[in-house]
Amino acid sequence: MFDKILIANRGEIACRVIKTARRMGIKTVAVYSDADRDALHVEMADEAVHIGPAAAAQSYLVIEKIIEACKQTGAQAVHPGYGFLSEREAFPKALAEAGIVFIGPNPHAIAAMGDKIESKKAAAAAKVSTVPGFLGVIESPEQAVPIANEIGYPVMIKASAGGGGKGMRIAYSADEVAEGFARAKSEAASSFGDDRVFIEKFITDPRHIEIQVLGDKHGNVIYLGERECSIQRRNQKVIEEAPSPLLDEATRRLMGEQAVALAKAVGYDSAGTVEFVAGQDKSFYFLEMNTRLQVEHPVTEMITGIDLVEEMIRVAAGEKLRLAQTDVKLNGWAVESRIYAEDPVRNFLPSTGRLVTYRPPHEGEEHGVTIRNDTGVYEGGEISIYYDPMIAKLVTHAPTRARAIEAQGKALDAFAIDGIRHNIPFLSALMQHPRWQSGHLSTGFIAEEFPQGFKAPAPEGEIALRMAAVAAAIDHLLNERKRQISGQMRPTSAVRFDRERVVMLGRERRDVVIEDIDGGIAVLIEGQARPVSSSWKPGDPVWTGTVGGEAIAVQVRPLLNGMLLSHAGAAVEARVYTHREADLAALMPEKVEADTGKKLLCPMPGLVKAISVKPGQEVKVGEPLCMVEAMKMENVLRAERDGTIAKIHAKEGDSLAVDAVILEFA
């Protein structure tokens, strides 16, 4: 076994590998760029080596710098994590020449399976059903359009070396093929250093199901069940679960055996994932193979009890697999939410900045439910524009799917993040969605269920009653503290306006009465007394306690004369008044936001890559105005209506903050 390994990665996956290595008694070496000097993985590792500037192409993607770091520290092996160099055939070859072990598959397997074009050819040769498409490299839009016409729309344009939704575009017409080809090729070059793209048929209403395989260097390969990854946005997975609610045991075995046969055909000898696109009728087609550890590997670990990182390390050290296929048992259900630094109400555009608050829910097992949080950040740390926007992966495991979803919802409610925009409100809303809860999924789920984008809904029904009770309890506690601080004399009995309050949830009015009970208070609302108990204190970002005997968590942020509450996917501005204050507040005029309709505002912090218009130019609806790059994604901003460009405030190369004015219309 190795004494010391280097992790050629950053963020949560680097921290994840360090945890397992530490448990195995293996020392670890971190590498870091200028932007990651104070990163969590640098702090966690036994040693850390600086490898260059913030841009990945000058640091994490430079093989020579990784090898030099190994020589400098005496690391005997390298774990690549995912992304960066993990699926680059040249990387394990260069490591082998330097006498360093690669904790991953052999170069031949990476070449055969890691490249999307080559993997489809290998799958076809192995008689594996594949999606119709053109497997050759396409050089230009002019070549791409007739190929797409022949395949039939819609088509998917994909980067051959891609992953993580980058370098991928769906096209429904020849015009969209031409533009999508250019964007996919450009993103592929900047993200992977490889601009090759190919085209295949896009299967409508599909599900994304993948099989985890594990092989050793002695010819043994097993599969560890499946993961359902159909909840996606822009081809980027958002929620994963294991097992899949679609599959039965017979289909699971068919997919697993096919994945194993494919892996054996290329001599696969590490952890890897065979991805399938599945129809609602349980038909399935080979999509691609990821020759690395997947982002969503924790859900498989939770239902199998197998540490995939440990198995990768043991296999790389030459050990035989410790498990046979008959030893693999699936236990319970696991759900993973990817928590991203992005603004769900601004079409999920990236958000960067400092994590003023970062307080995840408590990890561990309680009452048959396990909570796990894989992360690479900390409170006070910074979300950089240079890398992937993932903050954490929140995983819950329970005996049933329903309980795992319920636990995930509660854990998301208890996850406090401030300083940047994030997608927790959206994830919380998803956990309450009836279609998600029923398991009727497809990769079009988010586009179909949120066609106008996302806006946190106002609370309704039982959720609204809980939030009203929490608002009343918080207001009561604050009032009690104020009276103690002022030293004022108290009447011998309760004052009416002290107990009879009005809770305004947005414009919705609810009359409540506060009653003292043993051990705390009860909030009488709509004729029902709800005991409320909590250890919350002013300044805590999350209110945790019980309302009516049910344990809940509510996000609390102070507002002028009130509080912003978020719970179970709903959000509302709450204010608590006396009856007289409520009557007067109802007479106050509403503040109207300033009109910004004649300005194009930057929707996220990013770099201006191109300005497509000039002052005085007339534009039509849908015409591109400019391109802004953030977190390796190129975002084209288009005209929302016909107009004339009056003034341009930004230029190519500018770094803009969110809501910065890019240009104005006449």
Topology adopted by domain 599-665: OB fold (Dihydrolipoamide Acetyltransferase, E2P) (2.40.50)
Residue 531: pLDDT band with limits 50, 70, 90: very high
Distances (CA, A) of 508 to 373, 503, 567, 625, 644: 36, 8, 17, 41, 42
Residue 50 burial class via C-beta count within 10 angstroms: exposed 0-12, middle 13-18, buried 19 and up: middle
Please list the active-site residues: 288
Q: State the average pLDDT over residues 211-240.
A: 95
The domain 4-103 is placed in CATH, from the list 3.40.190.10, 3.30.1280.10, 3.40.1160.10, 3.40.50.20, at: 3.40.50.20
Q: Measured between alpha carbons, how far is 402 from 410 in angstroms, rounded to an integer?
A: 13
Q: State the average pLDDT over residues 193-203.
A: 85
pLDDT of amino acid 163: 66
Q: What is the pLDDT of residues 335-366, one digit of tens each?
A: 999 999 998 988 888 888 899 999 999 999 99
Distances (CA, A) of 145 to 142, 161, 162, 166: 6, 21, 21, 21
Q: What is the pLDDT of residues 292-333, one digit of tens each?
A: 999 999 999 999 999 999 999 999 999 999 999 999 999 999
- The top-scoring range by mean pLDDT among 125-129, 313-317, 487-491 is 313-317
Q: Measured between alpha carbons, how far is 295 from 212 in angstroms, rounded to an integer?
A: 12
- Does residue 597 carry a pLDDT above 90? no
333 strand-pairing partners: 398
Q: What is the pLDDT of residues 148-181, one digit of tens each?
A: 998 888 898 988 876 667 788 999 999 999 889 9
Q: Detail the DSSP E strand segments found in 35-165.
A: 47-52, 77-79, 101-102, 133-134, 155-163
Of 564, 561, 554, 592, which Cα lies nearest the Cα of 577?
Answer: 561
Residue 300 corresponds to which tokens in the numbers above? 């498989």
According to DSSP, residue 378 is labeled: -
The number of residues in the chain equals: 666
pLDDT of amino acid 127: 76
Nearest 10 degrees: Cα torsion 454, 457, 463, 466: 110
Of 330, 307, 323, 311, which Cα lies nearest the Cα of 397?
Answer: 330
Residue 114: pLDDT band with limits 50, 70, 90: confident
Q: Which CATH architecture has domain 208-449?
A: 2-Layer Sandwich (3.30)
Contact 303, 242 (CB under 8 A): yes
CA angle 313, 315, 316 (to 5 degrees): 65
pLDDT of amino acid 41: 98
Residue 106 corresponds to which tokens in the numbers above? 């052999």
Contact 404, 397 (CB under 8 A): yes
Contact 627, 652 (CB under 8 A): no
Residue 594: pLDDT band with limits 50, 70, 90: low
Q: Measured between alpha carbons, how far is 22 from 309 in angstroms, rounded to an integer?
A: 12
pLDDT of amino acid 46: 98
Q: Measured between alpha carbons, how far is 221 from 257 in angstroms, rounded to an integer?
A: 10
Q: Which long-range contacts (CB under 8 A, 24 or more apart) does 143-146 make?
A: 144/177, 144/178, 144/181, 144/199, 145/174, 145/177, 145/178
Torsion over CA: 187, 191, 195, 198 (sign) = negative
Contact 393, 15 (CB under 8 A): no
- Domain ranges for the chain, please list them: 4-103, 132-201, 208-449, 461-585, 599-665
CATH code that applies to domain 461-585: 3.30.700.30
Q: What is the pLDDT of residues 410-462, one digit of tens each?
A: 999 999 999 999 999 999 999 999 999 999 999 999 999 998 889 989 999 99
In the chain, the percentage of residues whose pLDDT exceeds 70 is 97
One DSSP character per residue, 493-538 reads S--HHHHEEEEEETTEEEEEEEEEETTEEEEEETTEEEEEEE---T
The pair phi, psi for residue 94, each rounded to 5°, is -65, -40
- Does residue 106 carry a pLDDT above 90? yes
pLDDT of amino acid 164: 65
Pairing of strands 27-33, 47-52: parallel
The residue with greater pLDDT, 193 or 282, is 282
Domain 132-201: what homologous superfamily?
ATP-grasp fold, A domain (3.30.1490.20)
pLDDT of amino acid 596: 60
